[in-house]
Amino acid sequence: MVLPLPLVPLPASAIVGEGRMPVTESMRVIGDSPAAIQLMDAVAHRTGIRLTTTDVAEPGAITLRVESGAAPTEGYRLSIGENLQIVGGDEAGLFYGVQTLVQLLTEESGVWSLPRVEIVDAPRFPRRGVMLDVTRHFFDVAEVKRFIDETSALKYNHLHLHLSDDQGWRIQIDSWPKLTELSSASAADGDRGGFYTKDEYREIVAYAAARHMIVIPEIDLPGHTHAIGVAYPDLVEEPVLNDALVSQAKELGQPLPVKGEPYLGWGVGHSSVRIHEERTYEFVRDVIRELVELTPGPYIHIGGDESLGTPQADFDLFAERATAIVVEEGKIPVAWHEMGSAAGIAEGTVGQYWGMTTPSETHAAEAARFVERGGALIVSAADAAYLDMKYTPDFPLGLTWAAVVDVQRAYSWDPVAVLDVPDSAILGIEAPLWSETTRTYADVEQLVFPRAAALAEVAWSPQEGEGRDWESFRGRIASLAPGWRARGVNFHASPEIDWASPEIDWASPEIDWASPEIDGVEQ
Ligand code: TNX
């Protein structure tokens, strides 16, 4: 069945009543909370209708409030009947209720209206992340804010920023000033680089927080560190050129890495910091300390992927020391799953699994280590959740090393079915956008949308239930297109989806749709 509501992600439960509530300028919003202002802004943007606020409860007014216990963490109840009310279990829940309300707005013959509906909703996973790689190509503050707007509207709640890699360093660090002076101007293909000053970074963090997204900064170590060596050559080893790197460089016509010079290719696995130099750990500690000062969220990501140029024993030693430093500086370390090779990785470290939906034995064992050490896992299965994979083999943007990932493939997997660990060890998912092929922010949007919407449903919605299937999703996702168009989002109109969706009558009344009760909430 196609859920007769234009919602993505699918709510945990919804009952659709008869008739619709027209939305007009005479409608009032009670109060001036951040959620009320966000609602008025979004409605104005989407419909041109300017709602106003009132201090007193009056018939037909929109009530927005937080009531602890009304819904689980990040959950909400939305009721559109005689009156319109959103009750969040917390501030985040209220924000998500507002996002749902905005998606419910539809227009017919110039009249905007909302369906009469009772929605009780809460997320399946606490971790619903997206990642933006600002190293291979750099995206400025305004672009990152757009990314936050569009992903938080899909109920994503973590933004991982990949801030350092071979091609460039992207964050001001006062104690090591040459990082931005000498290593930030470069990017892949010789394109323009850039970096965030501390104030700009704080602006991003605050903008995300206002939309209930936690920013996770990543400094990728001990590999992916060529750019560090452009600024401070004594911190890194000579590049290690593996066969795959050399043949890929030839095929793509890209240069090979030369120590101390900016690297403009995409090859991976050639760089490493010096593992046995104490100065390396002074550097790591200083950088982490400055990042901690900028980071209200609980996590610092220290990388750990594809350190092919670092001998295994050295890599493990580094993983143990670097994760310990993050803990000493007061945050929870996050690392790509390879760091699970280290027996003594800091307790509580969160692993980010980026292998396939069917893991290799090594990757599965590395991921399991985080759980053995009292940590948990984020699943970024590359053949489903990687936003930089091509939609089709001949798609102009993206890579194919993990898979060709069409929208249906991004939609059709279960994060708890990937690794052999208890379900409770899976925090949720993250969908990374690596930026080798995205030279502009418009390119980023082509790869991210609509797949980020498919993955948002994987992360938010119950795995089972009426409407939680590809056919229903296909119908509902089309309803996001008008909003994306209105906001200028350069989404890919994948032919898997009927973007005109003529068969769906959003106004159709008298359909009850509900999935089983959400834990802890009476219906
Ligand atoms: C692998 S996934 C990488 C990145 C690349 C990406 C391209 C991961 C942890 N490392 O360095 O950008 O593939 O898809």
DSSP per residue over 446-478, as a string?
HHHTTHHHHHHHHHHS-SSSTT-SHHHHHHHHH
Is 306 a known active-site residue?
yes
Mean pLDDT (whole number) for 219-229 = 98
Say if residues 112 and 27 touch (Cβ distance below 8 Å).
no
Mean predicted lDDT score pLDDT of the chain: 94
- Second CATH level (architecture) for the domain 127-460: Alpha-Beta Barrel (3.20)
**What residue spans define the domains of the chain?**
13-123+468-522, 127-460
357 alpha carbon to ligand 1 midpoint, in Å? 16
What number is the average pLDDT over the span 50-72?
91
Helix residue ranges per DSSP H, 358-440: 361-372, 382-385, 407-411
pLDDT of residue 450: 98
Tokens of 162: 């990949």
Model confidence pTM above 0.85: yes
With cut-offs at 50, 70 and 90, classify the pLDDT of residue 478: very high
* Best mutation site among 263, 268, 338, 366 for ligand 1 pocket (most ligand atoms within 8 Å of CB): 268
Confidence class for position 501, pLDDT limits 50, 70, 90:
low
Average pLDDT value for residue range 252-280:
95
Q: Confidence class of residue 57 from pLDDT cuts 50, 70 and 90?
A: confident
Tokens coding 376: 């948990």
Catalytic residue among 143, 200, 306, 372: 306
Burial track 334-351 (b if 16+ CB lie within 10 A, e otherwise): bbbbbbbbbeebbeebbb
Amino acid at 185: A
Pick the CATH number of 13-123+468-522 from 3.30.379.10, 3.40.50.2300, 3.40.50.1000, 3.40.50.620: 3.30.379.10
Is the pLDDT at 292 greater than 70? The verdict is: yes
pLDDT band at 3 (very low <50, low <70, confident <90, very high): low
Q: Name which residue sits closest to atom 12 of ligand 1, judged by CA.
A: 434
Residue corresponding to tokens 């000493």:
328
On whether the CB atoms of residues 220 and 303 are closer than 8 A, the answer is: yes
Ranges of H-type helices in 373-521 = 382-385, 407-411, 441-448, 451-460, 470-478, 481-486
pLDDT score of 523: 33
The stretch 469-492 carries a mean pLDDT of: 95
Beta bridge partners of 236: 273
Burial zone of 145 (CB within 10 Å; 0-12 exposed, 13-18 middle, 19+ buried): middle
Handedness of CA 334, 336, 337, 342 (dihedral sign): negative
In the predicted model, is pLDDT for residue 313 greater than 90?
Answer: yes
C-beta atoms surrounding 202 within 10 Å: 16
Measured in whole angstroms, how far is the alpha carbon of residue 67 from the centre of its chain? 27
Note the pLDDT of residue 511: 41
**Shortest-distance Cα residue to atom 10 of ligand 1:** 305
